[in-house]
Amino acid sequence: MRRLPPAAALLVALVLAGCGARSSKPFTADASAACFTKKGFTNVTTATAKVGFIAGVAANGGLAARSRAGNALTVAFGADAQDAVVTEGEFRKYAPASLRPHMADIMESKRNAVLVWTVSPSAKDLADAESCLAS
């Protein structure tokens, strides 16, 4: 078996380590909005007055959109993952009584972003939304 020279081995190790690295830079509403439109979401907005109070006061903005199927989505972009936990609590606290039992089905977090749907999203809508989250 042939061995790699030390410099080449180091380069391979660094590349492999980088492939598993996760970005810690927070997602933002402004960086994410255009992708939602490209993925077929409609009524995409980051306007504070249109995204709802909780998303509107989030550290990195809020976003509201509607999937092709008509499912309304609100995304609150907090400062970090800890802020997302607090934001989830706020969504639960202020959700209409009819939605509270279903929050586990309609809300999820990814890093600093909290996504809240009107009804459980399809796998495609969820994957599209998650793929649009950007820093």
Cα distance between residue 48 and residue 61, in whole Å:
8
DSSP character at residue 112: T
Going residue by residue through the chain, which has 135 residues, state the pLDDT in tens, using 9 for 90 and above: 444 454 444 444 443 434 334 678 999 999 999 999 999 999 999 999 999 999 999 999 999 999 999 999 999 999 999 999 999 999 999 999 998 999 999 999 999 999 999 999 999 999 999 999 999
pTM of the model: 0.83
| Sheet with 113-117, edge to edge strand ranges | 42-45, 62-66, 72-77, 113-117, 107-110
